[in-house]
Amino acid sequence: MLTTRFVTGAPNWLDLGTPDIDRAAGFYDALFGWQFQSAGPEAGGYGFFRLDGRTVAGGMQTGAEDGPPAWTVYFQSPDADATVKAVEKAHGSVLMAPMDVMAQGRMALLTDRAGVPYGIWQPGQLKGLDVVSESGSLCWLELYTPDIAAAAGYYNAVLGWETSSVSFDEGFYTCFNPGGQSEDTMFAGLVQLHDDPTDSGAAPYWLPYIAVDDPDGVCERAGQLGGTVRLAPTDVPDVGRMAKLADPFGARFAVLRPEPRQEG
């Protein structure tokens, strides 16, 4: 489960790169109630999506040279420079070398062996997102990859992640948790890219899930707002009701109404 008790390797930030931040902000406001607030001129157009005054994500306007519109997930690193060295040793790539973001923290943008972009965030004054795992906020991640074993080995070498398996009727679902933590801290699953018909022919990528109370209503609104429903709302036993979408510019995300947790 995602929490804001950010430990080494855990997801601690999420942001959107989009060619039209104003229109994208309107889309996510109508969908989730997120309000976009600029971080000021010194932040180069970067800003924060807030829900009830709490930061749920970041975002900024990007150009074609920055790649396609997409959500990027960041993972906590105690030392961004050391993590980048581990990435290079593990045959990943560095898209943006470590840089200080004022006094807020230190970041880098990377890709894994399969070319999947992601970021690392070494906290300074900004520790991470204000809220996760509540309605309207990040609650899960999936990595769509051509080689689950290779991806597991890469992220273990770079960020110390451990894996475990959850059994389903059709097989097993491999999950990530931060190194040295219990399986209760699982935050992501791995999906064989070519086994998913919604991503046939797509490049590998990270998919963020946003918790919602009404996935069907979200999908209906998304279509009305120019978004795309990539996978219609579907019930997953013992998990919840989920759907996959893309915003009007093609940035992919998913929504999930989790099943209530069973106590005891």
pLDDT tens, position by position, 75-85 = 999 999 999 99
pLDDT computed for residue 261 by the predictor: 66
How far lies 170's CA from each of 167, 189, 233, 236, 241, in Å? Answer: 8, 15, 19, 12, 18
pLDDT computed for residue 262 by the predictor: 56
Kindly report the pTM of this predicted structure.
0.95
pLDDT computed for residue 264 by the predictor: 43
Average pLDDT over residues 199-227: 95
Residues in contact with 117: Cβ distance below 8 Å, sequence separation at least 6, in sequence order: 67, 70, 72, 95, 109, 110, 111, 205, 206
CB-CB contact of 80 with 122 (8 Å): yes
Q: Which CATH number fits domain 1-258: 3.20.20.150, 3.40.1190.20, 3.30.465.10, 3.10.180.10?
A: 3.10.180.10
C-alpha torsion sign, points 23, 229, 250, 136: positive
Which helix (H) or strand (E) is 97 found in, with range? Answer: strand 93-101
Average pLDDT over residues 258-262: 76
Average pLDDT over residues 205-229: 98
CB-CB contact of 12 with 128 (8 Å): yes
CB-CB contact of 136 with 110 (8 Å): no
pLDDT computed for residue 132 by the predictor: 98
